[in-house]
Amino acid sequence: MGKTLIYFTLIVGITAIIGACSKNEDDDTTTSNLLTCTGTSTGSGPTIGSVALEEATYLSTCFGGSKVKMEFKNNSSAQYTSYAYGDSSCSGTPSESSFCLESITVSSTTVTKPVYYVDNSSLGDNVTGYATTGTGKHNSSTLYMSIYAESTSVFWLEQASDQATLDSNTAYTYKFTKQ
C-alpha cells in the first residue's frame, strides 16, 4: 500500500472540506451560527453496528500532518474540528477549522478494511465498520465516512468529500479516543 496515496487522498479530502468551511471576513453572525452545533442531548452519539458511541469529545491520532476532533452533540450531530499542522508529526501550533456536521446517518452497508497504525507505519487486522454520511450545516455538503467502533470510547475513521475517493482509500486512518 502506498503511503503517498493515502496521504494524497486524505490531504485532498481534508482540503476540500476545510475549503468548503472557510469563512469570509464579511460573514455575519448568521454564518457563525451555521458553523456551530447546538444539539440536544439524547444520551449517546451515533450507533456504529452494535456500539453506541458516547455523547462526548473524541480526538484523533495524527495522520498526514492533521488531527480531527469530533464532539458528538447527540446521535446525529457533531462539532467537527480539523487541526492542520506544518509537519507530519503534528507538532507546533495548528491552523484550526470547525463546522457543524449534522444528519449523521449510519447505513447498514459494511466496510471491511485494515486499520493503519501511524506510529509504526503498518497495517493492522481487517475490521468491519459501516458506511456513514454527514451534512455540513453551513453549506449542505456531504462528508463520506467509514467508521469502525472498537468500543464506546474508541473508533476508527476514514473520510472523503466524495464516495469514489472514500472507496479508493485503503485503510481506516484516524484513530479517535474519548477525551
The residues that bridge with 130 in the sheet, in sequence order, are 110, 147
User: How far is the C-alpha of 160 from the C-alpha of 166, rounded, in Å?
Assistant: 5
Contact 113, 124 (CB under 8 A): no
C-alpha cell at 9: 487522498
29 sits in the region (left: phi over 0; alpha: psi -120 to 50; else beta) called: alpha
Which pLDDT band, with edges at 50, 70 and 90, does 18 fall under?
Answer: very low
pLDDT of 17 > 80? The answer is: no
How many residues in total does the chain contain?
179
Left if phi > 0, otherwise alpha if psi is -120 to 50, otherwise beta: which for 121? left
pLDDT tier at 34 (50, 70, 90 boundaries)?
Answer: confident
Specify the pTM.
0.81
Query: What pLDDT score does 30 carry?
Result: 60
11-25, 46-60, 93-107: range with lowest mean pLDDT? 11-25
Q: C-alpha cell of 157?
A: 475513521
**pLDDT of amino acid 8:** 42
Which whole number is the average pLDDT over 133-144? 96
- The CA distances from residue 171 to 19, 54, 161, in Å, are 24, 24, 16
Label residue 3 by pLDDT band (50, 70, 90): low
Residue 112 has pLDDT above 80, yes or no: yes
